[in-house]
Amino acid sequence: MRLALIGVGLIGGSFAKALREARKLDRVVGFDIDAEALRRAAELHVIDECAPSAAKAVDQADLVLIAVPVGSVQQVFRDIASNLSKTAIVTDVSSTKASVVDHARRELGAAFARFVPGHPIAGIERSGVQNADAALFHNRTFVSTPVGQTDQDAARRVEALWMDLGAHVQRMTPEEHDAVFAAVSHLPHLLAFALVAHIAEQSDSQRKFKLAGSGFRDFTRIAASNPRMWRDICIANSAAISAELSAYRDRLTMLQTAVEAQDADALERVFTRNASGTSANTML
Amino acid sequence: MRLALIGVGLIGGSFAKALREARKLDRVVGFDIDAEALRRAAELHVIDECAPSAAKAVDQADLVLIAVPVGSVQQVFRDIASNLSKTAIVTDVSSTKASVVDHARRELGAAFARFVPGHPIAGIERSGVQNADAALFHNRTFVSTPVGQTDQDAARRVEALWMDLGAHVQRMTPEEHDAVFAAVSHLPHLLAFALVAHIAEQSDSQRKFKLAGSGFRDFTRIAASNPRMWRDICIANSAAISAELSAYRDRLTMLQTAVEAQDADALERVFTRNASGTSANTML
């Protein structure tokens, strides 16, 4: 199989390395707008060949993986649409899905049927092809979001590849995906960004950062995520994120009311439900 | 030195174990309203003797460490006030300081001069004397908050003990302490509690908890902290926490406005400042 890798960062690089280890690849042609990253990917043998453009990279490709920031996906669709072979399957790894599917529908023409939108849940704080890891997707979830027009065989083939890499595949609609991840990923990241910004603008922020305990350090670690990636996600999933922020702000208002009233029962009720909820669901 | 340990949980137990290892102790008399915890502390030789009451525990004590939930400190002051020797030094480890100092001033009478309010920054998620660890305070900060009436010799002696246990001592006023920790500890915990409660009440919360990535899991871990401890902290530090919540909610409103406007520059500005702020201050 000939893979075109558009975007040679952590996720794209790990995908290529893992597929190569699984002996699924004959050749990997890579492209990245960051020439230095592209050179490094070749040096590390993550790709076999550097293409001068996304369009050239997809020439004769059996599979195209688009692993670029969400904000750049539309341009990639535009660049590659007329160069895709009649049988090439296109897939992506973007953290938001509905807007990506809309762009694909608009830009890919007939090839839209062979576009399988996906999202591997495997982020780590590091980035870059130098941190690519063939085991990154082991025991992680790959969310597959094919739509009505998606060729079922193409979807199954992409899902089978992720399973070969050790991932569990879960299907949902692009809209479901975006609502779920607005709640469990995008909202928490925005809360962390907002907290660090809130502390940073206080007059004695240096002392505060120094005195912060482990709870706060979890927030700062989350808030150290890639700023442009999160900018793109906020724009691409604006409506779902805004809905989550509204509901969360309401809950915070209720909590503040309980704090100001020193309402022991209301406070303990919220905190107790939390502790039991998390131990049952996620602390195993 | 004869230590009276009122509250034989993780922090009190670790303090006693560490002082004993440092050969500073002749005898430890413990009391806890949880008879089972008290029995366990004796079994583990964290204390030498179980007292039948807080008042009895402080008989002949040179040092009294109060390591009970913030909401129970006032009652302990009441119980021990008339049994303290003329030279006994009293100290505590409560996570809030101004209200504790108020209670001490009201309840301890002449002994208030020998009360040294303190807060070791060394929480871990586990609790209970069975998790007590003599190394818990190594390289951690002990915040000492003596007030104008505090005997300077008593404050220095308590601070010297924490330094013997490997802690760095930092002095501030009770009010400064409460403002700092409302920002860097109490607020982050409330945000985590609120997030988990927010997700838990959604119809598909089970699926969401399962799909949550590492960022969300940091929140659930923080939100699994002891509910009654956090209830007490919210009540004891209500005003400072409420002020932090107000300012944070304003910031979240601004962020939501930027998300809804899909304002790339505003979003990237917030996220970039965060990343650089954290890497400079806390990610080392």
The CA-based angle A37-A39-A41, given to 5 degrees, is 70
d(CA B280, CA B274) in angstroms, rounded, equals 10
What pLDDT is attached to residue A274? 56
Is B194 close to A251, i.e. CB distance below 8 A? yes
Phi, psi of B27 (to 5 degrees): -160, 140
CB of A185 closer than 8 Å to CB of A95? yes
Residues B168-199 pLDDT 10s? 999 999 999 999 999 999 999 999 999 999 99
Is A275 close to B247, i.e. CB distance below 8 A? no
Q: Hey, is the C-beta of A277 within 8 angstroms of any chain B C-beta?
A: yes
Q: State the pLDDT confidence band at A284, using cuts at 50, 70 and 90.
A: very low
What pLDDT is attached to residue B262? 97
Comparing alpha-carbon positions, the chain B residue that sits nearest to A143 is: B211
Annotate A121-139 with DSSP letters as a single string.
----S--SGGG--TTTTTT
Q: Give the gap in angstroms from C-alpha B282 to the nearest C-alpha of chain A.
A: 7
Residues 4-43 (B) with a CB less than 8 A from some CB of A:
none
Is A207 close to B180, i.e. CB distance below 8 A? yes
Q: Give percent of chain A with pLDDT exceeding 70.
A: 95
A282: nearest CB among B123, B217, B281: B217
Token pair 């020998």: residue: B114
Pairs across A and B, CB distance < 8 A: 284
What pLDDT is attached to residue A166? 97
Is A212 close to B282, i.e. CB distance below 8 A? yes
d(CA B11, CA B27) in angstroms, rounded, equals 18
Is B251 close to A198, i.e. CB distance below 8 A? yes
Residues B151-172 pLDDT 10s? 999 999 999 999 999 999 999 9
Comparing alpha-carbon positions, the chain B residue that sits nearest to A243 is: B256
Residues A102-127 pLDDT 10s? 999 999 999 999 999 999 998 666 78
Q: Give the gap in angstroms from C-alpha A119 to the nearest C-alpha of chain B.
A: 12
What pLDDT is attached to residue B272? 85
d(CA A206, CA A162) in angstroms, rounded, equals 44
Is A213 close to B255, i.e. CB distance below 8 A? no
What pLDDT is attached to residue B123? 67
Chain A residue numbers with beta carbons less than 8 Å from the beta carbon of B139 are none
Q: Which amino acid belongs to residue A135?
A: A
Is A194 close to B255, i.e. CB distance below 8 A? yes
Using alpha carbons, select from A250, A188, A269 the residue that is nearest to residue A222.
A188
Tell me the whole-structure pTM to 2 decimals: 0.88
| ipTM of model | 0.87
Q: Is the pLDDT of residue B284 over 50?
A: no
The mean pLDDT of B17-26, rounded to a whole number, is 96
d(CA A60, CA B111) in angstroms, rounded, equals 85
Chain centroid to Cα A208, Å, comes to: 32
Is A190 close to B282, i.e. CB distance below 8 A? no
Burial of B56 (0-12, 13-18, 19+ CB in 10 A): middle
Tokens of A143: 């969310």
Phi, psi of A87 (to 5 degrees): -115, -5
Q: Give the gap in angstroms from C-alpha B180 to the nearest C-alpha of chain A.
A: 6
A228: nearest CB among B197, B230, B268: B268
Q: Is the pLDDT of residue B41 over 60?
A: yes
Is B208 close to A184, i.e. CB distance below 8 A? yes
Mean pLDDT of chain A: 93
Chain B residue numbers with beta carbons less than 8 Å from the beta carbon of A283 are 220-221, 224
CA-to-CA separations, A132 to A14, A129, B105, in angstroms, rounded: 4, 5, 60
CB of A221 closer than 8 Å to CB of A196? no
Mean pLDDT of chain B: 93
B194: nearest CB among A238, A245, A252: A252
Q: State the pLDDT confidence band at A276, using cuts at 50, 70 and 90.
A: very low
What pLDDT is attached to residue B274? 56
Best of B282, B283, B284 to disrupt the A interface by mutation (most A CBs within 10 Å)? B282
Q: Give the gap in angstroms from C-alpha B103 to the nearest C-alpha of chain A.
A: 17
Is B199 close to A183, i.e. CB distance below 8 A? yes
d(CA A146, CA A163) in angstroms, rounded, equals 16
What pLDDT is attached to residue B275? 44
Is B215 close to A274, i.e. CB distance below 8 A? no
Residue A125 or residue A148, greater confidence: A148
Chain B residue numbers with beta carbons less than 8 Å from the beta carbon of A124 are 214
Residues 6+ apart with CB under 8 A from B181: A211, B95, B96, B119, B237
Residues B226-282 pLDDT 10s? 898 899 999 999 999 999 999 999 999 999 999 999 999 999 988 986 544 443 333
Residues 103-142 (B) with a CB less than 8 A from some CB of A:
121, 123-124, 141
Residues 81-100 (B) with a CB less than 8 A from some CB of A:
none
The mean pLDDT of A124-145, rounded to a whole number, is 92
What pLDDT is attached to residue A126? 77
Residues A195-243 pLDDT 10s? 999 999 888 898 898 888 777 888 888 888 889 889 999 999 999 999 9
Residue B212 or residue A19, greater confidence: A19
Q: Is the pLDDT of residue A280 over 90?
A: no
CA torsion sign for B133, B138, B143, B144 is positive
